[in-house]
Amino acid sequence: MSTPPPAWLRGCGTALITPFTADRALDENALRLLVRFQIQEGIDFLVPGGTTGETPTLSVAEHARVVAITVEEARRAPRRVAVLAGAGGNHTAHVIDLAHRLAEAGADGLLSVSPYYNKPNPAGLVAHYTAITQAVPLPLVVYNVPGRTGSNITPATLALLARIPGVVGVKEASGNILQMAEILAALPGFRVLSGDDALTLPLLALGGHGLISVASNEIPRAMADLVRHGLQGDFAAARELHFKYLDLMQANFIESNPIPVKAALARMGLCQEVYRLPLEPLAEASRRQLEKALEKAGLI
């Protein structure tokens, strides 16, 4: 590992949705209210501008505005919360341009998904992340999500990326707990964060450092508490929260993220249920399952 991770990169961070108005414009007021809700409920850090934020449909200006609003609210709050801004893509020069914009907006770090579709080899990944960190000197977390990118960052490749100055951690959403264990064994001190709510507890038991959560959009206090209990070794308390909200964690992925979680937040009165194409609202059978999970969680 080349660069020590920042102290704030630990615990539970929320992969924030991006709320839209009825005409599909950015809903800045709803975003501010969502960020305030997160901070008031004790979330450890915030992650705007990721997949959950519908960033494939945001312009660069909108993406930067989402991060700027999040930073403004995080700095205004009585309790300062760090902002890990999403800055990923499959065109390195475009990612660097976006990363510059997010740094100017005040981001504390960057979360950068591995390039999708063009699927570079390990040497290409090293060159890609080296170019980003050299251009924008912020702590960078690699995001491994094979289900979205079409390729997996293996532990051996991640060990190469961890040598790059500025690369401080990984959001691991491979769904492979053995792979996560291999990363933790091979890279002591490197931050390993779960990218799957339902796999957070086993990752913490292996020595993982936290979670970037979808469910914490709906239940920030509960997910932050689950992670804190796990980090403190109180696995009985963490397990209780895990099973209490497991149905909700699963319902959030009954269709492509962020369709279910945005529907849930709309049902809770926190945003409008508006998406940008090609996303469309939940099918009725999925909506019924989500409603049951929300009722069980005591959210409606």
Given the residues 129, 171, 262, 275, the one annotated as active site: 171
CB 259 within 8 A of CB 265: no
Q: Which domains does the chain have, with CATH numbers?
A: 11-248 (3.20.20.70)
pLDDT in tens, 128-186: 999 999 999 999 999 999 999 999 999 999 999 999 999 999 999 999 999 999 999 99
Asked whether residue 79 carries a pLDDT value surpassing 90, the answer given is: no
Q: Report whether pLDDT(81) > 80.
A: yes
Rounded Cα–Cα distance for residues 184 and 190 (Å):
8
Please say if the pLDDT value at position 76 is more than 80.
yes
pLDDT exceeds cutoff 80 at 214: yes
Contact of 106 with 83, CB cutoff 8 Å: yes
Average pLDDT, integer, range 187-211: 98
Whole-angstrom Cα Rg for the chain: 18
User: pTM score, two decimals?
Assistant: 0.97
pLDDT reported for residue 212: 98
Looking at the predicted structure, is the pLDDT value of residue 77 above 80?
A: no
What mean pLDDT comes out for the span 212-240?
Answer: 98
171 in active site: yes
Dihedral sign for Cα 161, 163, 164, 165, please: positive
Q: What confidence score (pLDDT) does residue 2 get?
A: 77
**Chain-wide mean pLDDT for the chain?**
97
- Distance between CA atoms of residues 166 and 130, nearest Å: 9
pLDDT at 3: 87
For the stretch 8-47, pLDDT in tens is 999 999 999 999 999 999 999 999 999 999 999 999 999 9
* Residue 205: pLDDT over 90: yes
Q: Kindly report, residue by residue over 235-276, the tens digit of the pLDDT.
A: 999 999 999 999 999 999 999 999 999 999 999 999 999 999
Please indicate whether residue 143 is annotated as part of the active site. Answer: yes
- Which residue among the candidates 117, 119, 143, 244 is catalytic per the annotation? 143
Closest by Cα among 203, 205, 222 to 214:
222
